Amino acid sequence: MSSKILLFVLLIVMLISGCGQSQSASIDKKSHQDKTDSAQTNTTKVFETVPKGFRVVIVGSGNPKTEVGRGAPSTLVQFKDKYFLVDSGANTTSTLLKLGLPAEKITNMLFTHQHVDHNGDFWNLFIDGWQGPTGRRSLNLIGPQVQELYDTTVNFFRTDLEYRAGLGWPKDGILTNVNINDFTEDKYNFELDGVNITSIPVPHTVPTYAYRFDAKGKSVVVSGDLTYSANFASFAKNAEILVFDGMLTSDFSFVPEQARENLKNGLKQSHATIEDLAKMAADSKVKKVVLTHIGLGNVDKMSVSKVFSDAGFKGEIIAAEDGLVINP
């Protein structure tokens, strides 16, 4: 009798266990289905394949406050086998390497502006990408205040750089053969590695520029940090991908209620509201918006989607995370 009872109990346990596994599999499947074909998180070797056109990789999706699981702002725009790194916040170098792209492959460094969350890993990327037998031997440094950033870095580390050069590495790519395009004007338009790049200033707390990359009839736009700009919609018009400042799309419920509104109101002086982002996105008619520069509370996707929809935006909204790959 006791044997039958034991067998019955075992059967019940197996059934419960099986149900649990089925539910877990269902959740995993749903999570996978929530990712579109155009946006996949991939922490393996992203760069083993070369795209026929553009590819965008969110290297860092966070904000100035250090957070486990999110690096500070950094976006890689790839066109075929050429790379354009826009900003280099904390963890940029290590995240790129984790994704299969060593720093030495980056010969085009662009900056939206010089805030620590956007340039904090520059020293590491700058030196690590040059040193060694396969290090880069040329560098294009582009954006506002990049001359000052370069001069400060080289002056501070000059003894270190001379020591490393003495180990046998050429000075090209760090002390020589460095092309600097320091932005001070209202608009820039130039070609680099087969891509036409346009840049305009956007409103923020320091000189800040947005970038547009055009090639073979496709376009990628990286906004940098900004508040509402009436000129932005025409600048980003019909782009396939817009990487947008999503700071104020974050869910701030983790902040004590009495401080929440003060925080939001303070950030409105330097970052666009959800309504402003939605209007700029709708007016520009971009196909995909990738919200990055996310706060510690992540993105409240439902409320964001509603605001964008109410503004008339017809495209796709994607919440960024480190390692996210977006294809046009």
Q: How many residues does the chain have?
A: 328
Q: Count Cβ neighbours within 10 Å for each residue of 172-204 and write b for 16 or more, e otherwise.
A: bbbeeebeebebeeeebeeebeebebbbbbbbb
Complete DSSP assignment for 66-89: -BTTBPSSEEEEEETTEEEEE---
Handedness of CA 44, 47, 49, 52 (dihedral sign): positive
Give pLDDT, residue 38.
Answer: 62
Give pLDDT, residue 301.
Answer: 87
The model carries a pTM of: 0.87
The domain limits of the chain are 36-326
CATH 3.30.470.20 matches 36-326: no
3-state DSSP percent of the chain in helix, strand and coil, to 5: 35, 25, 40
Give pLDDT, residue 219.
Answer: 98
Give pLDDT, residue 24.
Answer: 25
Full pLDDT tens readout for the chain, 328 residues: 444 444 333 333 333 333 333 222 222 233 333 455 567 665 567 899 999 999 999 999 999 888 888 999 999 999 999 999 999 999 999 999 999 999 999 999 999 999 999 999 999 999 999 999 999 999 999 999 999 999 999 999 999 999 999 999 999 999 999 999 999 999 999 999 999 999 999 999 999 999 999 999 999 999 999 999 999 999 999 999 999 999 999 888 888 888 888 888 899 999 999 999 999 999 999 999 999 999 887 888 899 999 999 999 999 999 999 999 999 9
